[in-house]
Structure 1
Amino acid sequence: MSFSLVNSRNISSLVLRNNSFSALIDLNCSAMVNLKLLDLVDNKFTGSIPNNLPACPLLKTIDLGGNNLTGQIPETFKNFNSLCYLSLSMCNLNNLSGSLQILHTCPNLTTLVLSRSFDNEEIFHLFPNLSYFAAHSNNLDGRMPFSLVNSRSISSLVLRNNSFSGFIDLNCSAMVNLKLLDLVDYKFTGSILNNLPACPLLKTVDLGGNNLTGQIPETFKNFNSLCYLSLSMCNLNNLSGSLQILHTCPNLTTLVLSRSFDSEEMSSDAKLQFKKLKTLVIPSCKLTGRIPVWLNGLTKLRILDLSWNELTGSIPLFLGSLQSLVYLDLSNNYLSGEIPKSLTGLPDLQFHETFVLFSVEMEIAGDEDCRRRRSLEKKIGGDVEEWCGKVRGKSARSLKCTWGCNV
């Protein structure tokens, strides 16, 4: 840049972006007393950020992004009173912690852009009182920052739909306030972290959509704080063993295992007890076997979804005794036998779309429909209109019950 330009007392805005200037940024800031805006974006400047920029008494806007600047933000930026906007994106700076400690003293700073600078530096230790951190649906990759997975203050960690990879590595003994962990739709590999129960307040865990393998850890036995667990779309195995572990979690109310435990057999262990479970969702697993008898003990169950499996046998009568049930989906299995009348006695269950080869809500006419009607009446043990009337008459909550039975 020419000598006369960088010593001008008259210029208020200097915009030289997208050129090929190189070498050091050399401004005589003590002379440039009227400079308010400095834009040197996308050049080839090298060296450090000029430490004399605060000597421009009116300088409000600085954009030096896209240059080969190195080093740290100068100490002279402390109490840079006129500075309102600072962008240092796509530079090669270091010491983010020190930079933030300097910049937070700038009383009028309203905009700070540091994207693609300070590569792989830690920041979360700078926020000792941070309790909620959400950065979902970005393109974050690599491993989670050390300072984040060791935070003692964070209570909710929501990082779903990013590209973090490797193992899930949380220091649960340090994360004493963590209550919610949402790492859905990542590229995490390995097994489920066996030290999660060491987070004493952890209630909600959602690890769905990762490449996790193996079994639910033995350490999850008596995971006292756990209320919600979702492991959908993982590559886990040993469903029976997993349920034996999880039924010991005294406060578990929601369990979602959809599209995991591929082609295994549904556990028939009658000793399983999920005393507080309200939601059980295990669809699309190609599970074989029968609807398990241990469901009879789930007296608080409100939502049951076992659809899109390969379950056989009849629909158990005891489902009609689950008085809290509001949603039941057994569609797309190989169930047979009668549909229990007791289901029409559930106070909150609504049959919105009931299929036994055809909808019972359709108008019945013609020889083919009469044949279907007789087949349906055999299944329900009575008159179609009477049965449908009972179904329609339920005081319900806009939920549905779906059957997938072979006639």
Structure 2
Amino acid sequence: MGAQGCWGLVVILGFLLQAQVLVSQNLTCNFKDLTALQYFMGNLTMKPEGWTMDSSTDCCGWEGITCEPQSAGRVIKLELPKKRLSGKLSDALAALDQLKTLNLSHNFLKDSLPLSLFRMPNLEQLDLSNNDFSGQIPESINLHSIRSFDISSNHFNGSLPSHICVNSSRIRFLDMAVNYFSGDVLSGLGKCSFLEELNLGTDDLNGGVTEDIFQLQNLKVLGLQYNNLGGKLSPGIANLSNLVRFDISSNNFSGEIPDVFGQLKSFQFLVAHSNRFSGRIPSTVSNSPTISLLNLRNNSLEGFIYLNCSAMVALNSLDLATNKFTGPVPDNLPLCRQLRNANLARNNFSGQIPESFREFHSLSYLSVSNSSLRNISSALQILQQCRT
């Protein structure tokens, strides 16, 4: 084909592409979906900008609406975050049976959620976080396509809806934090075998943690912080082979921390402050080459502090304050080459700041207050040398 023929082909393809774009921009909203959206709008105290009750309007052009060209203008996305919406959700939303994304986060929506919302067959992403919703989550949840479910920062109460995984097993992201869910973490969450992130922090959960959570081998983030969970921490953590972040801070866990973290090859963040742990720092923690943040503040850990800084090449932040550690301040900490922040305050150390801290060039912050150290003037002279 000559140069002229190739140029002609490019022109034809350009016209076809332009025509396709024009078609997608001139979709006609499905009448059933238009009616559902207008009912939704009718329950709001202030309608979204550009929305109207006119039955001849094309809702595919409304703010926050995405329609699917291949399905006769069916609405597949409803996204209105941070629009200062107030009012409550209408049952009519369930008529959007092709909807894949519903994002109404960071608004002022209130009252309980309609049962029909939990029976939308094609819904993949649900984000209702940071609103004023309340009430209990229904026992019957049938969201077969759901991948991301976020109802955090609301006022939901009752039992934690662990049953969500029975008919919604494909969830990858599940966030129910900052609500008023109470009682035990019941079994059921283990059925969400694809789950990568589970956030249950800042609720009113108490009792123990169901063992089936520790069957979630794809889990990367597990947040249980700021609850009233207690008992011994299960060694089943070792089964979470892809875990990166584990936060159980501000609970009532007790006993020794299981020495099982060596099996977690991607583990970076251990946040377990403000519990009642005793014993020593587990050797699989103090020899971890992947941990970058270690926070065990405000427990009852004891003995000498031993960290293998030759192995802990990623450690950046260390907080061991308010424990019962004894002996000298570890003189090998400068060998943790990435360590910038170290809080060792309120322990029972003996001696003084080690001379080796003159070479602690990575250090930006150090606290050893109320730790029984002597010769403060000497410590200040040593720490003055901590500069790059």
Q: Which category of TM-score, normalised to the shorter sequence, fits these structures?
A: 0.5 to 0.7
Which amino acid is the alignment partner of residue 119 of structure 2? Answer: H
Residue from 303, 306, 311 that aligns with 1:313? 303
Closer, same or farther: CA 328–94 of 1 in aligned 2, 3 Å: closer
Which amino acid is the alignment partner of residue 247 of structure 2? Answer: V
Distance in 2 (alpha carbons) for counterparts of 1:296 and 1:65: 54
Residue from 128, 133, 139 that aligns with 1:135? 128
Distance in 2 (alpha carbons) for counterparts of 1:316 and 1:142: 48
Distance in 1 (alpha carbons) for counterparts of 2:129 and 2:251: 23
Q: How does 1:320-399 map to 2 (within 5 A)?
A: 321-351=311-341, 378-382=351-355, 387-391=356-360, 393-394=361-362
Distance in 2 (alpha carbons) for counterparts of 1:272 and 1:310: 20
- SS of 2:262's equivalent in the other structure is coil
Is the contact made by 1:328 and 1:402 (CA closer than 8 Å) also made in structure 2?
no
Deviation at 1:274, TM superposition (A): 4.0
Which amino acid is the alignment partner of residue 300 of structure 2? Answer: E
Q: Determine whether 1:406 maps to 2:372.
A: yes
Residue from 73, 93, 96 that aligns with 2:92? 96
Distance in 2 (alpha carbons) for counterparts of 1:313 and 1:118: 51
Is the contact made by 1:274 and 1:297 (CA closer than 8 Å) also made in structure 2?
no
Residue from 253, 272, 275 that aligns with 2:264? 275
> Percentage identity across aligned positions?
23
Aligned to 1:226: 219
Is the contact made by 2:269 and 2:291 (CA closer than 8 Å) also made in structure 1?
yes
Deviation at 1:319, TM superposition (A): 5.0
Deviation at 1:293, TM superposition (A): 2.9
Aligned to 1:122: 116
Deviation at 1:229, TM superposition (A): 0.6
Aligned to 1:157: 149
Aligned to 1:187: 180
Closer, same or farther: CA 333–131 of 1 in aligned 2, 3 Å: same
Which amino acid is the alignment partner of residue 96 of structure 1? Answer: A
Aligned to 1:292: 282
Aligned to 1:239: 232
Q: What is the RMSD computed on CA atoms of the aligned residues?
A: 4.0
Which amino acid is the alignment partner of residue 302 of structure 1? Answer: S
Distance in 1 (alpha carbons) for counterparts of 2:178 and 2:165: 21
- SS of 2:239's equivalent in the other structure is coil
Greater percentage in helix = 2
Q: How does 1:34-45 map to 2 (within 5 A)?
A: none
Aligned to 1:81: 56
Distance in 2 (alpha carbons) for counterparts of 1:210 and 1:304: 23
Closer, same or farther: CA 80–217 of 1 in aligned 2, 3 Å: same
Which amino acid is the alignment partner of residue 288 of structure 2? Answer: L
CA deviation string 1:223-281 (max 9, x = no partner)? 211111111112212234x2x1112221112110101125x2333x5456342221101
Closer, same or farther: CA 175–403 of 1 in aligned 2, 3 Å: farther
- SS of 2:300's equivalent in the other structure is coil
Which amino acid is the alignment partner of residue 296 of structure 1? Answer: S
Distance in 1 (alpha carbons) for counterparts of 2:341 and 2:283: 23
Distance in 2 (alpha carbons) for counterparts of 1:339 and 1:142: 51
- SS of 2:242's equivalent in the other structure is coil
User: TM-score by structure 2 length?
Assistant: 0.62
- SS of 2:308's equivalent in the other structure is helix
Closer, same or farther: CA 145–83 of 1 in aligned 2, 3 Å: farther
- SS of 2:286's equivalent in the other structure is helix
- Paired residue total: 288
Closer, same or farther: CA 287–97 of 1 in aligned 2, 3 Å: closer
CA deviation string 1:29-52 (max 9, x = no partner)? xxxxxxxxxxxxxxxxxxxxxxxx
Greater percentage in strand = 2
CA deviation string 1:16-73 (max 9, x = no partner)? xxxxxxxxxxxxxxxxxxxxxxxxxxxxxxxxxxxxxxxxxxxxxx98999xxxxxxx
Deviation at 1:380, TM superposition (A): 3.6
- SS of 2:246's equivalent in the other structure is strand
User: TM-score by structure 1 length?
Assistant: 0.60
Distance in 1 (alpha carbons) for counterparts of 2:312 and 2:217: 25
Is the contact made by 2:297 and 2:321 (CA closer than 8 Å) also made in structure 1?
yes
CA deviation string 1:164-201 (max 9, x = no partner)? 11112233132133111111111112221322121121
Is the contact made by 1:221 and 1:249 (CA closer than 8 Å) also made in structure 2?
yes
Q: How does 1:40-51 map to 2 (within 5 A)?
A: none
- SS of 1:215's equivalent in the other structure is strand
Deviation at 1:379, TM superposition (A): 3.0
Distance in 2 (alpha carbons) for counterparts of 1:402 and 1:136: 37
- SS of 1:250's equivalent in the other structure is coil
Deviation at 1:334, TM superposition (A): 2.5
Deviation at 1:205, TM superposition (A): 0.6
Deviation at 1:286, TM superposition (A): 3.7
Distance in 2 (alpha carbons) for counterparts of 1:122 and 1:289: 50
Aligned to 1:41: none
Closer, same or farther: CA 230–249 of 1 in aligned 2, 3 Å: same
Deviation at 1:81, TM superposition (A): 2.2
Distance in 2 (alpha carbons) for counterparts of 1:307 and 1:222: 28
Which amino acid is the alignment partner of residue 390 of structure 1? Answer: E
